[in-house]
Amino acid sequence: MARPTTIHPSAIVEAGAELGAGVRIGPFCHVSAAAKLHDGVELIGHVTIMGDTTLGAGCQVYPQAVLGAPPQNFKHKGGPSTLEVGPHCVIREGVTFHAGTDTSRGRTTVGSNGLFMAYSHVAHDCAIGNHVTMANYAGLGGHADIGDYVILSGYAAVHQFVRVGHHAFLGGCAAVVGDVIPYGMAVGDRARLRGLNIVGLKRSGMSREEMTVLRRAYRQIFAEGSSLADNAAAVSRAFPDSAPVADMVAFIGGRDKRHFTIPARGGSAAEEDDEG
């Protein structure tokens, strides 16, 4: 038997809010008129849902989280914009997700099955994939694009418009100002690549043979003496049958507004790839 929808007497749910089956709204929450809470969403207490915000089925939101506030962006003119959160996300204490900018993308999107630890922040117009983990105090600038299964360690900070490829790992306190390739591991201020996220690759089920090919491709892509674009083209020809290599090459070819996070110069990419 499905549990009933319950609203604590101290909570404020504005007229027009859409609540699915089995939604639980705890004490002192505030839910906006334009909000949509799908089946099984739980707001534990002292949660604020603002604006046109959608929470997917089974999301759990902890106290002091504020979701859907207007963007911290002077270009926003006060027009409509949205926040869309996929199902089964866990959003811990003090987390903030902002809506999009009406003069830009207009929406912030968060995929399914994410874990957003206390006081992490997702800025306006970001696009976050599925199974993303943001540890305590990790933060994204506006328009950041975060792939599936990315892990941001505590206090990691991602610059606006930066792309982080799927299965990448950002170390604690990493200041990421350039795009991070899929499967990459970036650490430091300013962050540099320290090889591949080998632990993440193993968890994803990648075979030893595939990882060996990816390591070789990584070394060649970041070898000194030729441009990144030329190296990526050579890697594409050298490993035509590797889907992970194709992902990495496609990401490099999709350069947008930022430069790339690369290994520190002075040591070889091969040496750095031993990390992880």
Active site residues per annotation: 124-125, 142
Q: Which residues pair with 158 in a beta bridge?
A: 140, 176
Distances 94 to 48, 64, 110 between C-alpha atoms, Å = 10, 5, 17
Cα(203)–Cα(206) distance, integer angstroms: 8
Residue by residue, DSSP assigns the chain as -PPPPEE-TT-EE-TT-EE-TT-EE-TT-EE-TT-EE-TT-EE-SS-EE-SEEEE-TT-EE-TT-EEEEPPS-TT--S---EEEE-TT-EE-TT-EEE---TTTT-EEEE-SS-EE-TT-EE-TT-EE-SS-EE-TT-EE-TT-EE-TT-EE-TT-EE-TT-EE-TT-EE-TT-EE-SBB-TTEEEETTTTEEEEE-HHHHHHTT--HHHHHHHHHHHHHHT-TTS-HHHHHHHHHHH-TT-HHHHHHHHHHHT--SS-B--BPTTS-HHHHTT--
Report how far residue 196's alpha carbon sits from residue 158's, in angstroms, rounded to the nearest whole number.
Answer: 18
